[in-house]
Amino acid sequence: MVKEGDKAPDFTAKDDAGNTVSLKDFRGKNVVLYFYPKDMTLGCTKEACDFRDNLVRLKHKDAVVLGVSPDGEKSHTKFKVKYELPFTLLADEDKKISTDYGVWQEKSMYGRKYMGIVRTTFVIDKHGKIAKIFPKVKVLGHVDAVLKVLGEL
């Protein structure tokens, strides 16, 4: 698992439009890299819409938002269009990014164990270092906590 202060693991992935995106493309900006389990689900939709509704405030902190889930490009495109999400969603179908960041973990629901994304947000500073990790994110109030950290960078 990566720690605060570590250099953020670089990655390359396809976005919701089929473009290739790398973390290094955002050097010089603060990056809010948030991992979520699945497009179109209740908690993930609420989280995405909170980032959408606060995007102007995030941009004032010189930040870009990147959402990552194991869903593919087509799923991301539908999710983005349906909820008018104005930021990039990355397809992590092989779970490489999720594994590199330590968020692909064993989970349990109704006594059944399975592998999945643990909802986590990483704030990466302009130099590519992890400034803050929000593990096991609770959606309510999360964006305000992210904005507070960005205000301290």
CA 29/CA 134 separation, integer angstroms: 19
CA 32/CA 15 separation, integer angstroms: 15
The set of residues, in sequence order, having a beta carbon less than 8 Å from that of 119 and lying 6+ positions away, is 34, 35, 36, 37, 43, 44, 47, 136, 137, 139
Catalytic residue, candidates 8, 21, 23, 44: 44
| Residue 24, token pair as written in the block | 């290094």
- CA 34 vs CA 1, 47, 56, 110: distances in Å: 15, 9, 17, 26
Residue 49 known to be catalytic: no
Residue numbers annotated as active site: 44
